[in-house]
Chain A
Amino acid sequence: MTMGVSTDTVDTQMGRAPARRRGSATARRAETWASNAFFYGMVGFVLAFLYIPIAVLIAFSFNSSRSLSWPMTGVSLEWYARLLANEDLLEALWNSVYVAAAATALTLIIGVPAALALDRFDFPGKGLFRKLVLLPIALPGIITGISMLIMFRMIGFNLSLETVILGHATALVSVVVTQVFARLQRLPRSYEEASADLGASGLQTFFLVTLPNIRTAIIGAALLSFTLSFDEIPVTFFLTGRDNTLPMYIWSTLRRGLTPEINAVGALIVVFSIVLITLSVVLTRDKSGKRG
């Protein structure tokens, strides 16, 4: 009898429970749908906010007419052809590549050893050194530009692309230090200890163990540094001589009005940046996910 009673209770509970669950499931599904719709709406809004201007730029670079009015009158590659014939623009582009490449090389030569020193060695004033190295990233470019201009004038340097390179390297060395330092912090100290334990000298340890493990951070920092230098204006504005970099050239032509050629350059830079960013993502992704 007791058994029977308890089975009844169980039956009733089992009969009621699924119904209640079904009811709440419908409500929950509606709720999920609403929140999904909201979520995708937000995602779409953010993407539109970020990318519509760029899409417009790329679209107008193929416009057959000179005017920037919608709808476009036709499709042509005319502006790309003019771009290739514009020697001033091509020279500015080349200057930018030269400046960005040289500045990047310089930041790596200074930044990587600085990051190593910060992470692996203890020396008096280390905390202050770290803050001082990282400070230029927070400093407005205009300050870096003016102060370096004054300094170059003082020691009698003529302004040229090389002074621009020095200026960019100053501003960007903190980018490299931050990135490489962050990777070094995640690199277990025991790797280097194990290497030394197995008989490796300090140099062997650096080239066989440390460097391969921070390589992707260095490449990532280099790409970031290159991109930032490539479109830098404030520091360049103060430190350049007669030569123009691409952003400076674009800025100066804008005074004569917006030309579709600029749209074409912009479109090319967008494509180039996407390639660089994809490259840096792919390179920095390998193995780092599996580590630890």
Chain B
Amino acid sequence: MSEVIRIENLRKEFGDVIGVADVSLSIERGEYVTLLGPSGCGKSTLLRMIGGFEAPTSGTIWLDGEDVTDLPPNQRAVNMVFQDYALFPHMTVGQNVGYGLRVSGTPRAEIKPRVAETLSLVGLTDKADTSPAELSGGQRQRVALARAIVRHPKVLLLDEPLSALDANLREQMQVELRNLHNKVGLTFIMVTHDQSEALVMSDRVVVMRDGRVSQTGDPVSLYDAPANSYVADFIGATNLFASPVKASNGKIFVSCFGQELEIDHPAVDGVPAAERLFGFRPEKARLVRANGSVPQGNLLKGRLENVLYHGAMIRSVVVVGEGRILVDTLLDDTFDPARHAGTGDEVFVDIDPHKIMPFARDGAS
């Protein structure tokens, strides 16, 4: 693999507001990269700077070894799928898809087959003469895709491409988009605020916050080893708590809302340290009903406040001291409703000492 985009210290200021703060990023050819973050984190601005729609305040963008920082959008070999699709309403689907070829002076005879080929790639062969207004949301989305890839750009930019679709269609389009990426082999850079979308679709996720990159990594490493509490909280759910570190009898302990938990993590040694953040994923913990006796394990004692049904699993909310701990239980064949604790019951949360993770306090690391 080779590098197709390199971003160096890219910065964008809007008056006093800093949109993107000195971001550096390298993207490999053929990669599916997602820029993930809440609104206002700078992800869209970063994408628009790659597309040429915003001029950076400082920094450099390299596309395939060429400095494109100051090139206008029409001179960059990148194409964009806009959030509102931006299909031209006065043109047919075929004319929309062929627009990029038409303005570049491609002969008519060549445009037609390439439009047909691209439309078949997105499954809209029979819609070439239809007006975009007559299409469904999902179909429009595909036309926007076809229009953006017809010229075989070096990079395809997607600005929240699925946000306008309803939930079912969105999941279907996630798969289709991923399939399309595998088929055409282009580099995709997608912006989204939806963490599950980012995890499902990407080779690599760039988590952003306040104009900075908070963590970059493949979905598995982001989920299993979040670099900081912000990423841990933004991607999936995390039971977070602040605690000093204590050692006794060769074991290391932290305090979770007033109760001691053993922790066994390579990054945490026995040296007593000031307060820092710790956390564990809800599905890594186990809920145990208190039957008068105390079970074995690394336990927190609490009271079951609520049980939230999620279809494939249930999420139990357990009050522990001043805090609330979430525990997810998979509803597979081994689950026995009769043995599960009811609301108001005394329960124990059992968590493996290896599964408790330490975090840097601030996300902007």
Contact = CB atoms under 8 A, between A and B. Distances in A.
B108 interface: no
Contact of B90 (A195, A196, A199, A212): A212
Contacts of B73: 193, 196-197
A201 B74 contact: yes
B335 interface: no
Contact of A193 (B53, B133, B147, B148): B53
Contacts of A212: 88, 90
Going nearest first, the 10 A-B pairs with the smallest beta carbon separation are A198-B100, A190-B86, A194-B86, A200-B103, A196-B73, A290-B133, A212-B90, A190-B82, A196-B74, A197-B73
Counting chain B CB atoms within 10 Å of each CB, the highest count among A198, A213, A291 belongs to A198
Contacts of B80: 193-194, 197
A40 interface: no
Contacts of A191: 86, 88
A254 to B, nearest CB: 48
Nearest to A192: B86
27 contacts: A188-B86, A190-B82, A191-B86, A193-B53, A194-B86, A194-B147, A195-B103, A196-B52, A196-B74, A197-B51, A197-B52, A197-B78, A197-B79, A198-B79, A198-B99, A198-B100, A198-B147, A199-B100, A199-B103, A199-B104, A199-B151, A200-B74, A200-B103, A208-B103, A212-B88, A212-B90, A291-B133
A22 interface: no
A290 B79 contact: no
Interface in B54-106: 72-74, 78-80, 82-84, 86, 88-90, 99-100, 103-104
Given A196-B72, A198-B100, A199-B151, A190 B84 contact: yes
Interface in A166-215: 188, 190-191, 193-201, 204, 208-209, 212-213
Nearest to B147: A198
Counting chain B CB atoms within 10 Å of each CB, the highest count among A188, A193, A195, A199 belongs to A199
Given A190-B84, A197-B78, 11 more contacts: A194-B88, A196-B72, A198-B74, A198-B148, A199-B100, A199-B103, A199-B104, A200-B74, A204-B103, A287-B133, A290-B133
A204 B105 CA distance: 11
B91 to A, nearest CB: 8
A197 B74 contact: yes
Contact of A198 (B53, B84, B151): B151
Nearest to A291: B89
Interface of chain A, main secondary structure? helix
Counting chain B CB atoms within 10 Å of each CB, the highest count among A197, A199, A208, A291 belongs to A197
B99 A195 contact: yes
Nearest to A213: B90
Given A199-B103, A199-B104, A209 B88 contact: yes
Contacts of A194: 80, 82, 86, 88, 147
Contact of B103 (A198, A213, A290): A198
A41 B122 CA distance: 57
Interface in B133-187: 133, 147-148, 151
A185 to B, nearest CB: 16
B137 to A, nearest CB: 13
Chain A, interface size: which category? 20 to 34
Contact of A213 (B89, B133, B148): B89
B90 to A, nearest CB: 4
Interface residues of B, number: 24
A204 B74 CA distance: 11
A209 to B, nearest CB: 6
Nearest to B159: A190
Contacts of A201: 74, 103
Contacts of B78: 197
A290 to B, nearest CB: 4
A201 B72 CA distance: 10
Contact of A287 (B53, B89, B100): B89
Interface in A217-267: none
Contacts of A198: 74, 79, 99-100, 103, 147-148, 151
B74 to A, nearest CB: 5
Nearest to B78: A197
Interface in A278-292: 287, 290-291
Nearest to B132: A290
A31 B157 CA distance: 60
A131 B340 CA distance: 71
Contact of B74 (A188, A199, A208): A199
A273 to B, nearest CB: 29
Given A193-B53, A198-B100, A287 B86 contact: no
Interface in B95-137: 99-100, 103-104, 133
A208 to B, nearest CB: 7
B153 to A, nearest CB: 9
A208 B90 CA distance: 10
Contacts of B151: 198-199
B90 A287 contact: yes
Contacts of A208: 99, 103
A160 B305 CA distance: 89
Contacts of A213: 88-90
A180 to B, nearest CB: 16
Contacts of A195: 88, 99, 103
B99 A188 contact: no
A197 to B, nearest CB: 5
B100 A290 contact: no
Contacts of A290: 89, 133
A187 to B, nearest CB: 10
